[in-house]
Amino acid sequence: MEKQLRIGSACVLTAVEPGIIDRTYTDYWSAFDRGRSDQPIDGLGTSRCDCAVKTFQVLAAHGLPSHFIERVDDLTIRTYEYEVPDKPLLSGKAHGRFIPLEWLYRTRAFGSLLARLREGKVRPADLGFLSGTEVTEGMLLPRMLVECTTKLESVDRHLTTKETEMLAGLSVPERQAARELVVKGAQAISNAYERAGFITPDGKCELGVRNDGAIVFVDVLGTQDENRILEVGTGEV
């Protein structure tokens, strides 16, 4: 088949055979909704690939499904292709559909969550703290917070439960399965990082619905692009 490709902010997607694509990571960094920087960082692509492969191995060890097939080389992983809204299939075949949401998980107060607390958009009680608790940076949340934002809009925005349901197109059991998968995946990834001497206060992931109805992890997760990664005892990235 003729090679079809798509250039993303952090990787290049290439069709391999029907239903199969390669993801080749680049040394160009990307942040939030700003897209790819013109400044490369030597070795970043290999580091991304290393983290992605390790994460998929951790998920598999815990029996958590994903679209990952294998590592091809230092920069490339091979995955099943999932249909993305408003984008043509690269390989001509889909193993399922992409859920057009970003799933955010948080175990500590950092970044945008801390800003929303200070602005009064989120209350400490909403996170499980006693009413009136002063939440400071890095404070451990009483329970993991799972939220959704848009994925395919120009700027990601937080979604209400109703908006999430409308965009996801999932039944109630599917929504429950999706949330459970995010929580289990986040716990598995966090535990793996902790064993290596790091903590991951928050991160994000993306999901798809396989053709047989199973909810699976797609794209990539657990890398320095998706997770806040801090060295234990230093608070430094």
> In percent, how much of the chain has pLDDT > 90?
70
CA distance linking residue 180 with residue 186, whole number of Å = 10
* Whether residue 1 has pLDDT greater than 50: no
Instruction: Taking residues 40-60, report their average pLDDT.
Output: 95
Instruction: Count Cα neighbours of 12 within 13 Å in the Cβ-side half-sphere.
Output: 11
Element (H, E) at 70: strand 68-71
* Whether residue 235 has pLDDT greater than 60: no
pTM for this predicted structure: 0.89
Instruction: Taking residues 5-14, report their average pLDDT.
Output: 84
Alpha carbon 220 to chain centroid, angstroms: 6
Mean pLDDT rounded to a whole number for the chain: 90
Instruction: Taking residues 18-33, report their average pLDDT.
Output: 84
Token pair, residue 210, equals 């396989």
CA distance linking residue 132 with residue 94, whole number of Å = 49
* Whether residue 133 has pLDDT greater than 80: yes
Q: Sorting pLDDT into bands at 50, 70 and 90, what band is 234?
A: low
Q: Sorting pLDDT into bands at 50, 70 and 90, what band is 9?
A: confident
Amino acid symbol at 132: G
Closest among 30, 10, 8, 14 to 79, alpha carbons compared: 14
Handedness of CA 169, 84, 204, 196 (dihedral sign): positive
41 to 10, 15, 25, 168: CA distances (angstroms):
12, 26, 12, 35
pLDDT digits (tens, 9 = 90+) for 93-125: 999 999 999 999 999 999 999 999 999 999 999
For residue 54, the model assigns a pLDDT of: 97
Radius of gyration of the chain (CA): 18
pLDDT digits (tens, 9 = 90+) for 181-227: 999 999 999 999 999 999 999 999 999 999 999 999 999 999 988 99
> In percent, how much of the chain has pLDDT > 70?
93
Query: Measured at the alpha carbon of residue 157, what is the angle toward residues 151 and 159, in degrees to the nearest 5?
Result: 90
Higher-scoring residue by pLDDT: 120, 30: 120
Pairing type for strands 11-17 and 96-98 reads: unpaired
22 exposed, middle or buried (CB, 10 Å; 0-12, 13-18, 19+)?
buried
Instruction: Taking residues 41-62, report their average pLDDT.
Output: 95
Q: Sorting pLDDT into bands at 50, 70 and 90, what band is 169?
A: confident
> To which residue do tokens 């990601």 refer?
156
